[in-house]
Amino acid sequence: MTEYDVIIIGAGSVGVPTALATSKDNLKTLVIDTLPSVAQADNKHAIGGIRATHSQKSKIWLCQRSIEIFSTWEEKYGDDIWWSQGGYTFLAFTEKDEEMLKNTVKLQKGYGLNIDYVGPEKIKELIPGINNENLYGGTHSPEDGNCSPLLSLHAFYRHSRNNGAEYKFNEKVIDILTKNGKIVGVKTTKNSYKTQNVVNATGAYAKDIGRMIGTDLPVAPESHEAGITEPVQNFFSTMVVDIQPAVDPLFGDSKNYYFYQNKEGKIIFCLTPKPNILGVDRRETSFFLPQIAKRMIRLLPRLKNIKIRRTWRGLYPMTPDGNPILGKVDNIEGYINAVGMCGQGFMLGPGVGEIINRILTDNLSLRDKEIITDLSCSREFCQEEELK
């Protein structure tokens, strides 16, 4: 039986770029997924925003690397993955939010991020037609952007296959085989495979895989809904993030929502419900459309005339502090976490993939070590990310 250098469980936002990195480094790589093809769990539910402007330094570093990979992909490999460097704009409609955003900007600038707090005039330029009543201003980070999750993941997938990575679909991992505290293989519904290294990249299902090695991962999926419109001529390029909470007695309160216009001219939007909807339910609800339509039209009245084409629901694998869990664990040798991306697996994926590869190849830089310590599963999950 062939022995794999690494088996990655999950062919999604994190697993596929990880396989891209390991296969490029000539590790014999196998990716296993329960679904019939690549990126069919929650990658395709992601709306496609990519930013480095987080408030947590490890995430900033990981996403800076991701942006490098996304933004140069077409140039390097030729696949159009619809990368567009449109920036991100977090809006402040209260003094409190203005202060919070200004503080994060300070911190982010400290990490060398290109971000500014700008006034309402600049915001109006960035988002033509915005209803600027009570608008204090917002952040603008022009180097952030967006990209098609569907096209990027498939491009990563094809290149990893060209590098020699193997994929098994329609196959569910049912056990991780260990011997004397070390991983020796993986058992699936169809087969068994030999390896000494397993990467858990199973998004919403991370906990189930963690259990196989006796680890209780603090990852709990939450359900968010999203939608897409018909295409119209592009009239804004930034990701708009409205962090105001809203009260909606009939259809449910929400924490925030965000949207952008993609390369094809379609507007893609997503809402964070309040309270969180825990669980793995991906079935569309009737409340989402009135909930989000009211919020988006209040903010940008001209959207009343754009036709909504489709809606869907996806899962955010949340951790208690809103930050991912990365790296090895103490009890089992050969097991590596790449979980708890909190809905940012797509933007974190390429950066995470490379660092996982450096863990496997024992090639960690000082910064890598800092990231892994930061995001280790044995950390105290107390310092909450401001811009989840």
Partner 1 sequence: MENITKHPILQIPIRKKIKFKFDGKELTGFEGMVISSALFLNKIKIFGHHVRDGSPQGIFCANGQCSQCNVIANGIPVKACMTPLEKGMIIESCNGLPNLPPLDTPVEVGDPEIIDTEVLVIGAGPAGLSATKVLGDYGLNVILVDDKDHLGGKLVLQTHKFFGSQKDVYAGKRGIEIAEILGTSVMELKTVNVWLNSTAVAVFSDGIVGILKNNIDYAMVKPKYLLVATGAREKMLVFPGNTLPGVYGAGAFQTLANRDLVKSANNIFIVGGGNVGLIAGYHAIQAGIEVVGLVEALPQCGGYKVHEDKLRRLGVPIYISYTVLSANGNNNVESITIGKLDEDNNIIKGSERTFKCDTILIAVGLNSVDEFFQKAKEFNMKVWVAGDAQEIAEASVAIFTGRIEALKILKEKNIDFDENIDELQNFADIMKTKPPSPIKTEFTAKEEGIFPLFHCNQKIPCNPCTTVCPQEQIETIDNLITQLPYFKDEKECIGCGNCVAVCPGLAVTLVDYRKDKNNPRVTFPLELSDKKIEKGQIVVVVGNEGELGEFEIVRSRILPEFPKTQLITVSLPSTIAKKAVGIKLGKTSYNEPIDYYQTPFMDDDIIICRCERVNVGEIRKWIRYGVRDFNELKALTKAGMGACGGKTCTPLINRIFCEEGVSNDQINQGTNRPLFIEVPMGIFAKVKIKKGE
**CA gyration radius, the chain:** 21
Residues 283, 261 contacting (CB under 8 angstroms): no
Beta-carbon neighbour count of residue 142 at 10 Å?
16
> For partner 1, which is the closer residue by CB, 133 or 380?
133
> For partner 1, which is the closer residue by CB, 40 or 85?
40
Contacts of 71 (CB under 8 A, 6+ apart): 83, 85, 145
Cα–Cα nearest to 56, from 104, 118, 19, 2: 104
Distance CA(141)–CA(157), nearest Å, equals 29
Question: Which residues inside 33-72 make contact with partner 1, applying CB under 8 A?
Answer: 36-40, 44
> Smallest gap, in angstroms, from Cβ of residue 205 to partner 1?
18
Residues 82, 260 contacting (CB under 8 angstroms): no
Which of 110, 189, 235, 365 touches partner 1 by CB under 8 A?
235
> For partner 1, which is the closer residue by CB, 164 or 231?
231
> For partner 1, which is the closer residue by CB, 293 or 364?
293
277 is a site residue for partner 1 (CB under 8 A): no
Q: H-helix or E-strand containing 366?
A: helix 366-374
Distance CA(317)–CA(73), nearest Å, equals 27
* Distances, alpha carbon 39 to alpha carbons 149, 186, 323, 345, 374, in Å: 9, 21, 22, 12, 28
* Distances, alpha carbon 75 to alpha carbons 20, 22, 120, 347, in Å: 17, 21, 36, 19
> For partner 1, which is the closer residue by CB, 180 or 286?
286
> Smallest gap, in angstroms, from Cβ of residue 150 to partner 1?
4
246 is a site residue for partner 1 (CB under 8 A): no
Residues 145, 71 contacting (CB under 8 angstroms): yes
Which of 311, 320, 358, 361 touches partner 1 by CB under 8 A?
311
> For partner 1, which is the closer residue by CB, 40 or 114?
40
H helices present in 93-162, as ranges: 95-110, 120-126, 149-162
> For partner 1, which is the closer residue by CB, 124 or 211?
124
Which of 133, 216, 362, 380 touches partner 1 by CB under 8 A?
133
306 is a site residue for partner 1 (CB under 8 A): yes
Question: Which residues inside 78-107 make contact with partner 1, applying CB under 8 A?
Answer: none
Which of 100, 107, 118, 150 touches partner 1 by CB under 8 A?
150
Distance CA(384)–CA(91), nearest Å, equals 20
Contacts of 216 (CB under 8 A, 6+ apart): 207, 210
Of 67-75, 175-183, 204-212, 225-233, the window that binds partner 1 (rule: CB under 8 A) is 225-233
Question: Which residues inside 109-128 make contact with partner 1, applying CB under 8 A?
Answer: 128
> For partner 1, which is the closer residue by CB, 2 or 286?
286
Question: Which residues inside 285-304 make contact with partner 1, applying CB under 8 A?
Answer: 285-287, 289-290, 293-294, 296-298, 301-304
Q: Is 255 helix (H, G, I), strand (E, B) or coil?
A: strand
172 is a site residue for partner 1 (CB under 8 A): no
230 is a site residue for partner 1 (CB under 8 A): yes
> For partner 1, which is the closer residue by CB, 110 or 279?
279
Which residues form the interface with partner 1 (CB under 8 A)? 36-40, 44, 128-129, 131, 133, 150-151, 154, 229-233, 235, 250-251, 265, 281, 283-287, 289-290, 293-294, 296-298, 301-312
